Amino acid sequence: MPHWLVIDLEATTDDGGWPVTEMEIIEIGATLVNRQGRELDYFQRFVRPLRRPLLTPFCRELTHITQANIDTAQPLTEVWPLFERWLGQHQTRLEGWASWGDYDRKQLLQEWQRLQLDSALSRVPHMNLKQRFAKARRLERPLGLNGALQLAGLQFTGQQHRALEDARNTARLLPLVLP
């Protein structure tokens, strides 16, 4: 049975946002689901940013990630191989991976290049679920995750702007757009 991986990242930022080139991943959340959106496995880790190790007050408030969470975390160069090892056991059944919007894909590409990391995900098709959902619902423009869930008659569960919870909520919309 084919599986889908839904990934959400949290990253360093400040009020008003930063360009992707200035952001660093601080949390990875991934849920492996079947085509019906049922979770089969998951991965969650905090990541210590190296260029700007101190989280801004805005970032801490938005994500509910503490400075202590980050200070005790490993850098991406150590966390990513753990993710790849976890993903490896599911690789043969992986149909694709998805994220809400294109930010997560761009952030990963940038980090892989910057840190010279190889990823099996770079060889797996990516689906921008935000665009696909908007197209399926014939919306004039894409909605945020919470708005899309509400449109689908669902409530957000868990803490918003936490990687695993965002990934799990995104995965709930996957069955609504898969052919």
- Interval 130-153: pLDDT, tens: 999 999 999 999 999 999 999 999
Has 161 been annotated as catalytic? yes
Annotated catalytic residue within 10, 24, 27, 165: 10
Matching residue, tokens 């409530």: 155
The pLDDT score that the predictor gives to residue 177 is 94
Query: pTM of the prediction?
Result: 0.96
Q: Domain spans of the chain?
A: 3-176
Q: How many CA atoms lie within 13 A of 139 on its CB side?
A: 16
The answer on pLDDT for 55 being more than 90 is yes
Residue 36 is classified by DSSP as T
Q: 3-176: CATH homologous superfamily?
A: Ribonuclease H-like superfamily/Ribonuclease H (3.30.420.10)
Annotated catalytic residue within 3, 126, 161, 165: 161
Distance, in Å, from the CA atom of 127 to the CA atom of 132, rounded to the nearest integer, reads 8
Matching residue, tokens 């190889």: 118
Distance, in Å, from the CA atom of 65 to the CA atom of 55, rounded to the nearest integer, reads 9
The answer on pLDDT for 44 being more than 90 is yes
Give the pLDDT confidence of 83-97 residue by residue, as tens digits.
999 999 999 999 999
H helices of 89-128, in order, are: 103-115
The mean predicted confidence, pLDDT, of the chain is 97
The pLDDT score that the predictor gives to residue 60 is 97
Does residue 34 contact residue 1 with C-beta atoms inside 8 Å? yes
For residue 75 the two structure tokens come to 């850098």
